[in-house]
A and B are shown apart, each in its own frame.
Chain A
Amino acid sequence: MEARTNASQAARQLFEEHGAAVYRFACVLLRHHQDAEDVVQETFLKLLKHLTDGGNADNLRGWLFTVAAHAARDRQRRRLRWIPWAPTHDLGVGPPSLPDEDGSLRSLRSALRRLPVRDRLLLTLRSEGLSYREIAAAAKIRPASVGRLLARAVDRWDRAWRETPAISAKTPRHEVL
């Protein structure tokens, strides 16, 4: 009973510390906010179970992103079986408010949006501060390949960004993220 209470407290604390980062990570990766919410919920409920079962508590931040990455990948695979949905099909569905509505970062995000899924995953994990070893576990790739794949992803992102037309603050929000 005490272990359960401790696990619950630890999970809540980790949720307060990393919940927003995991949510942001899932949003960037999936570009679908309901799916992103599902990923966050699934990740932290698994964390609670992991802690309750006495799982390894070292580097739980890396553990969280690994679980979230796998959950996101499951959803992406499931979504591939359906006709791809574009937010423009339903203007009522839009991403949440972004803090830089002047457009200064929107072209960067727009370039990111055009990258393949694995590139987005690698860049997002690295941006969240995960080490190469943690990225390898989350992306299910060999640790020795992380640097090479990350370098290619950065090059592709850089090219995409240079090809992105200038985005003004008037560009519809659903075009971004």
Chain B
Amino acid sequence: MRCLNDSEIQAAADNEAADAILQHVRTCRRCSERVRDRETIMAGIRQAIQTPLSMPDALSRRIGQALADGSSQGATRLRDSAPTGRTSRRAFWSAVAVAAATLVVIFLIIPMMKGPTTVSAAEILAASANRLAQPDTQGVEFLEYELTLDGAPRGMMPDHANGTYRVKQIIDHAKAGHYR
């Protein structure tokens, strides 16, 4: 028989090898040395791993109590395999509440958000600039805004008082830069 490969050496060291392999180990000096070396390493690993590590008292008490109760009611109880009637009723009403909340958002809150809002002068000018930047618009465009000033800065706008102003823009898209 040929000499053993690594997994056969391992199996021999672990007493898991077939009879033919063990027979070879008994007759082959090289393989028997490799098995002995492997056994030494395995003993070192066992020694490192099998350190007597004591279990925390609290854990030991908790599990011992749960097992003594015999009812699977530990600190983390095993989940029941089937939901109870109360659980399914609760799930049904939860689903109804979620559906109702969704309808309120769709039919009440979103339309309210789309209602008239106050915008700043900067936003109006930005919207106007965006319109002017659109190359695909044709003909003469008339834009009209209502601008409400509330707390106009006197230093910057001395001739303007608080109130509502109407802003009109006319843009001739046929001629570049032709607007007022």
Contacts and interface: CB of A to CB of B under 8 A. Distances in A.
Contacts of A4: 70
B106 interface: no
A151 B7 contact: yes
Interface stretch (A44-52, A62-70, A81-89): A44-52
Interface residues of B, number: 40
Given A38-B76, A126-B14, A151-B9, A108 B47 contact: yes
Nearest to B11: A147
B51 interface: yes
A98 B52 CA distance: 8
A155 interface: yes
Nearest to B59: A37
From DSSP, what is the main secondary structure of chain A's interface residues? helix
A41 B73 CA distance: 11
A49 B78 contact: yes
B45 A147 contact: no
Contacts of A127: 42, 45-46, 49-50
B33 interface: no
Interface stretch (B61-69, B107-115, B153-161): B61-69
B148 interface: no
B78 A150 contact: no
B173 interface: no
B63 A41 contact: yes
Contacts of B44: 108, 161
From DSSP, what is the main secondary structure of chain B's interface residues? helix
Interface string A18-47: 011001100110000100011011101110
Given A11-B67, A132-B16, A154-B38, A49 B72 contact: yes
Nearest to B16: A132
B63 A24 contact: no
Nearest to A158: B41
Contacts of B56: 33, 37, 96
A72 interface: no
Contact of B48 (A7, A33, A40, A109): A109
B49 A24 contact: yes
Contacts of A96: 53-54, 56
Q: Which of A42, A49, A126 has the most CB of B within 10 A?
A: A126
18 contacts: A7-B70, A12-B64, A15-B64, A19-B60, A19-B63, A40-B63, A45-B66, A48-B72, A96-B56, A98-B51, A123-B45, A124-B49, A132-B11, A132-B16, A147-B8, A147-B11, A148-B7, A150-B7
Interface of B: 6-11, 14, 16, 38, 41-42, 44-56, 59-60, 62-64, 66-70, 72, 74-78
Interface of A: 4-5, 7-8, 11-12, 15, 19-20, 23-24, 27-28, 33, 37-38, 40-42, 44-46, 48-49, 52, 96, 98-100, 105, 108-109, 112, 123-124, 126-128, 131-132, 146-148, 150-152, 154-155, 157-158, 161
Given A23-B55, A109-B49, A127-B42, 13 more contacts: A5-B70, A8-B69, A12-B68, A27-B53, A28-B49, A37-B59, A52-B72, A105-B48, A108-B44, A124-B49, A131-B16, A151-B7, A158-B41
